[in-house]
């Protein structure tokens, strides 16, 4: 069984590559990644010499390059993680989000139609459902919740989802979609809040909390997400959407305080900055369907996952220090300089 994983040099994709090589000795993994600012080849160092692993540097929206890889490698299953993934960047400059997240998905599915696959899996997000109000803790996103996006990022992901379902209905492409909540864990790019706050706290720099920090996210440990996708591509029903959530709702401010506590840093580092435009208030997933149909449940409680994550960032300083000392400095100055 040959699995083509796109975006495997990024956060969740790399964790998925490690998971699959470890759990499935009979699977070969082909990784396709354009190595944008968010992709890091050194993340894949430990598997580069594995005979069951191959890496191709290519853009998923480059039809010629993608067709050539499909023709040479003939994958059985495609799992598409490749995306522009940061909401704040999508607010600054939406266009690349449309190209990679929508056109890239279409090119990959065209390649699947042309060369034949047994499954195309789209890694999507709970952000396609928009947000929930803070004063209705009884409400959750189900697979039936209407699409109602807020940011250019979530709109591009929702567009891709609609295209995936259309390719199933129109061409009979055997697709599945997973919509997950916010992931955290090793190899998370330091523009995202959990690694950003850990790195800043370790450097005694301000911890920039948007607005009042009351927004709620449903945090999912990345390994739990990888197990869910593994189950969906092997046992999930074609044409179906599966929500994947951690039942770990946390307010941003409480996470930042917890990080301060774990690292022995003062809460006086917390700085409230101008809110994100169109900032979604609350995400919360009802993962009942994937539990009922595939037996999946999240295994990592936030209290344990955040400790493991902080330990990983302490043990792997060179990985993130190299990132934050490069081009990232310009990004940080642009986004936080006058905020």
Give catalytic status of residue 153 as yes or no: yes
- Binding window for ligand TYD (CB under 6 A); candidates: 157-165, 191-199, 232-240, 326-334: 191-199
Does 223 sit near ligand TYD (CB under 6 A)?
Answer: no
211 dihedral zone (left: phi>0; alpha: psi -120 to 50; beta) = left
Q: Which of 196, 228, 244, 270 binds ligand TYD (CB under 6 A)?
A: 196
Look at residue 135 and give its three-state secondary structure: coil
* Burial profile 194-205: b = 16 or more Cβ within 10 angstroms, e = fewer: bbbbbbbbbeee
Contact between 188 and 272 under an 8 Å Cβ cutoff? The reply is no
CA 199 and chain centroid, separation: 20
13 binds, among ligand NAD, ligand TYD, none (CB under 5 to 8 A by kind): ligand NAD
Tokens of 241: 């959407």
Q: Which of 56, 81, 141, 221 binds ligand NAD (CB under 6 A)?
A: 81
Neighbouring-strand partners of residue 270: 207
Does 82 sit near ligand NAD (CB under 6 A)?
Answer: yes
Among 28, 59, 84, 127, the active-site one is 127
Q: Report the C-alpha gap between 242 and 144 in whole angstroms.
A: 10
Does 61 sit near ligand NAD (CB under 6 A)?
Answer: yes
Q: Report the C-alpha gap between 141 and 255 in whole angstroms.
A: 22
Which DSSP helix (H) or strand (E) runs through 191? Answer: none
Position of minimal CB gap to ligand NAD: 10
Does 215 sit near ligand TYD (CB under 6 A)?
Answer: yes
CB of 276 to ligand TYD, least distance (A): 6
Per DSSP, 179 falls in state E
Q: Are strands 77-80 and 175-180 parallel, antiparallel or unpaired?
A: unpaired
Phi, psi (rounded to 5 degrees) for 116: 85, 125
Indicate the angle between helix axes 222-235 and 11-23, nearest 10 degrees. 60
By beta-carbon proximity to ligand TYD, the closer residue of 104 and 208 is 208
- Binding window for ligand TYD (CB under 6 A); candidates: 51-59, 96-104, 206-214, 291-299: 206-214
Q: Which of 4, 17, 34, 306 binds ligand NAD (CB under 6 A)?
A: 34
Residues 227-266 that bind ligand TYD (CB under 6 A): 252
12 binds, among ligand NAD, ligand TYD, none (CB under 5 to 8 A by kind): ligand NAD
By beta-carbon proximity to ligand TYD, the closer residue of 6 and 215 is 215
Which are the contacts of 72, defined by CB distance < 8 A and separation ≥ 6?
none
Which DSSP helix (H) or strand (E) runs through 4? Answer: strand 2-6
Residues 199-258 that bind ligand NAD (CB under 6 A): none
Which chain residues interact with ligand NAD by CB under 6 A? 6-7, 9-13, 33-36, 38-39, 59-61, 81-85, 100, 104, 123, 125, 157, 180, 182-183, 189
- Positions touching ligand TYD (CB under 6 A) are 87, 127, 182, 192-193, 196, 208-210, 215, 217, 252, 276, 280
């Amino acid at each position: 069984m040959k699995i083509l994983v796109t975006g495997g040099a990024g956060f969740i994709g790399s964790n998925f590559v490690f998971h699959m090589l470890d759990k499935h000795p009979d699977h070969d993994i082909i990784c396709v990644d354009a190595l944008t600012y968010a992709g890091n080849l050194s993340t894949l160092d430990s598997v580069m010499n594995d005979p069951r692993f191959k890496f191709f540097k290519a853009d998923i929206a480059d039809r010629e390059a993608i067709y050539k890889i499909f023709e040479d490698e003939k994958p059985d299953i495609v799992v598409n993680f490749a995306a522009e993934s940061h909401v704040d960047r999508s607010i600054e400059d939406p266009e690349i989000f449309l190209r990679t997240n929508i056109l890239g998905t279409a090119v990959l599915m065209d390649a699947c139609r042309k060369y034949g696959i047994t499954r195309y899996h789209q890694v999507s997000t709970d952000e396609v459902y928009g947000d929930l109000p803070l004063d209705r803790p009884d409400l959750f996103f189900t697979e039936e919740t209407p699409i109602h996006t807020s940011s250019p990022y979530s709109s591009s992901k929702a567009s891709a989802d609609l295209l995936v379902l259309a390719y199933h209905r129109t061409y009979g492409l055997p697709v599945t979609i997973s919509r997950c909540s916010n992931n955290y864990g090793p190899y998370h790019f330091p523009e995202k809040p959990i690694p950003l706050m850990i790195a800043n706290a370790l450097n005694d720099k301000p911890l920039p909390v948007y607005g009042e920090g009351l927004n709620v996210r449903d945090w999912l440990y990345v390994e739990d997400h990888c197990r869910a996708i593994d189950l969906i591509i092997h046992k999930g029903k074609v044409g179906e959407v599966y929500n994947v959530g951690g039942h770990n709702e946390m307010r941003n401010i409480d996470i930042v305080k917890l990080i301060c506590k774990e690292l022995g840093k003062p809460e006086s580092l917390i700085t409230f900055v101008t809110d994100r435009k169109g900032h979604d208030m609350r995400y919360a997933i009802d993962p009942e369907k994937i539990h009922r149909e595939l037996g999946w449940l999240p295994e990592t409680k936030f209290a344990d996952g955040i400790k493991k994550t902080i330990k990983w960032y302490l043990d792997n300083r060179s990985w993130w220090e190299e990132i934050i000392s490069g081009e990232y400095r310009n990004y940080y100055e642009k986004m936080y300089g006058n905020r």
